[in-house]
Every structure is written in structure tokens, then in C-alpha cells.
């Protein structure tokens, strides 16, 4: 019978030391103890605004789509669009982003 040995991947001592040094430098910078590092700050976009069921239906009608076609355009189920328009469910943030694009730039979704 052969004996199986399990090999675990371990970080080398050198790599671990570099990682710890980087972490210590980041903490020192945040505490204001170190200066001279280049920092890039990016403003995060605001989350999309909530939409009412009538707003969602209006967007769909402006695109001249049935609920099932609109669902395909947004890559959701027809039942999901129905639930939004009936007020039974609210769109997720990702869906709200797509609905906002459909409202402001419908050609982007329709060309794909």
C-alpha cells in the first residue's frame, strides 16, 4: 500500500515578511505616521434611486416593449418585471442601475 502525503501550500518566510511589512506601512500611513506615499482616491458613485412601479412601467412602455421583451432586455424573468410593476417586489440595486440606463440611454440596452 502506498502512503499518500498531503502537500500544503505555504507562504515562504520571505513573502510573509514582505506582506507584514506592507501591512505595517499601510497602518502607519493611516495613523498619519508616514508621509510620501502616493494615494489615489476615487469617489464612489451614488447608489441608484428607487423607482416606483409606475416609473418602471413607464420606462417599459416608452421602449414599446411587452413585459416579457423588457425582461429579456434587462436579463430578468418576466415574473420579476410583473412583480415590480405590481409593487410586489422592488428591484435590486443592480436592476435599478439597468432601469436607470434604460430610462436615460435606452439605445445602449437595445443594441446588445
- The 10s digit of each residue's pLDDT in 72-86 is 999 999 999 999 999
- Domain that residue 20 falls in: 12-41
pLDDT tens-digit series, residues 14-58: 999 999 999 998 888 888 887 777 778 889 888 899 999 999 999
pTM, two decimals, is 0.62
| 8 Å CB contact between 91 and 51 | yes
61-65, 92-96, 106-110: segment of lowest average pLDDT:
106-110
Please indicate, yes or no, if residue 1 is contained in any of the structural domains.
Answer: no
| 8 Å CB contact between 81 and 74 | yes
| 8 Å CB contact between 64 and 106 | no
Please indicate, yes or no, if residue 5 is contained in any of the structural domains.
Answer: no
Same structural domain for residues 64 and 104? yes
Same structural domain for residues 74 and 102? yes
CA angle 5, 8, 13 (to 5 degrees): 130
Alpha carbons within 13 angstroms on the beta-carbon side of residue 34 total 13
pLDDT at 40: 82
Q: Which of 62, 87, 84 is CA-nearest to residue 71?
A: 84
Please indicate, yes or no, if residue 74 is contained in any of the structural domains.
Answer: yes
Q: How confident is the model at residue 3 (pLDDT cuts 50, 70, 90)?
A: low
| 8 Å CB contact between 15 and 23 | no
pLDDT at 112: 61
Give alpha helix (H) positions in the chain: 13-30, 53-62, 67-74, 78-86, 93-104, 106-111
Q: How many domains does the chain have?
A: 2
Amino acid at each position: 500500500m502506498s502512503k499518500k502525503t498531503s502537500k500544503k501550500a505555504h507562504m515562504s518566510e520571505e513573502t510573509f515578511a514582505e506582506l507584514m511589512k506592507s501591512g505595517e506601512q499601510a497602518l502607519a500611513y493611516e495613523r498619519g505616521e508616514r508621509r510620501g506615499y502616493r494615494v489615489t482616491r476615487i469617489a464612489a458613485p451614488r447608489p441608484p434611486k428607487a423607482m416606483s412601479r409606475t416609473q418602471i412601467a413607464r420606462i417599459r412602455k416608452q421602449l414599446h416593449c411587452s413585459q416579457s421583451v423588457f425582461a429579456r432586455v434587462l436579463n430578468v424573468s418576466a415574473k420579476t418585471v410583473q412583480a415590480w410593476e405590481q409593487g410586489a417586489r422592488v428591484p435590486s440595486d443592480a436592476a435599478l442601475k439597468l432601469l436607470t440606463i434604460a430610462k436615460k440611454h435606452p439605445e445602449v440596452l437595445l443594441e446588445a
